Amino acid sequence: MPLNDYLIVAGVLFTIGVAGVLLRRNLIVVYMSLEIMFNAVNLGFVAVSNYLNLVDGVIFVIFIMVVAAAEAAIALGISIALFRVKGTIDIDSFDELKL
């Protein structure tokens, strides 16, 4: 498959992720959309890495996956903590951080 096809798929995935983050209210779904964006980027990296015959992109992907895993643990922890406080995970109800 030519490189372009990979990148188109990555772009579509990324757009889906962005739309999810912007439009959905559920914290878990927002978080999942965020992960889709990550994976879109990962896909791009792997494709370009393959195309250029370099390992750099693959290393980046592994880094991103490790960080994302760690981040997932924290994000879910925060979600649970928020749920305990508010009884909901609708992100519109979390608007305390303003002047």
Partner 1 sequence: MDLKSVITWLIPLFPLTGWVLWGLLGRYIKDLTGHLASAFVGVSFILSLVLFYIVSNSHGFTATLYPWIYAGRLGVNVSAVIDRLSMVMLVMVTGVGGLIHVYSIGYMKGDKGYARYFSFLNLFVFSMIMLIISNNLLLLYVFWEAVGFCSYILIGHWYHKKSASDAAKKAFIVNRIGDFGFSVGIFLLFLTTRTINYESVFKIIPALPSITVTAIALLLFAGAVGKSAQFPLHVWLPDAMEGPTPVSALIHAATMVTAGVYMIARLHVIFSYSPVASMFVLFIGTLTAFLAAFIAASQFDIKRIIAYSTISQLGYMFMAVGIGSYTAGIFHLISHAVFKGLLFLTAGSVMHAMAGELDLRKMGGMYPKMKITALTFIVGALALSGIPPFSGFFSKDAILADVFSRGFYLSWIIGELTALLTAFYIFRLIFRVFFGQSNVDPKLHVHESPAVMTYPMVILSLAAILIGFLGMPPFDHSVFYNFLNVDFKNAAIFAPFVNNASWVILSLISVLMGLLGILAAYILYIRKSVSPERVKRAIGPIYSLSYHKVYFDEIYDFLIVRTVLGLSTFFWRIIDDAIIDGAVNGIAAGFAFFSVKVKRIQNGMLMSYALTFAIGVIALLFYYFIR
Query: Residue 99 interacts with partner 1 (CB under 8 A)?
Result: yes
Separation of alpha carbons 88 and 80, rounded Å: 10
Residue among 14, 37, 19, 30 at smallest CA distance from 92: 30
Instruction: Decide if residue 18 touches partner 1 (CB under 8 A).
Output: yes
Q: How far apart are the first and last CA of the chain?
A: 52
Ranges within 57-76 binding partner 1 (CB under 8 A): none
Locus of tokens 């889906």: 16
Segment near partner 1 (CB under 8 A); pick from 15-23, 43-51, 62-70, 77-85: 15-23
Residue 94 as a binder of partner 1 (CB under 8 A): the answer is: yes
Part in contact with partner 1 (CB under 8 A); list of ranges 4-12, 16-24, 64-72, 79-87 = 16-24
Q: Which amino acid is at 96?
A: E
Residues that bind partner 1 (CB under 8 A): 18, 21-22, 25, 30, 91-92, 94-99
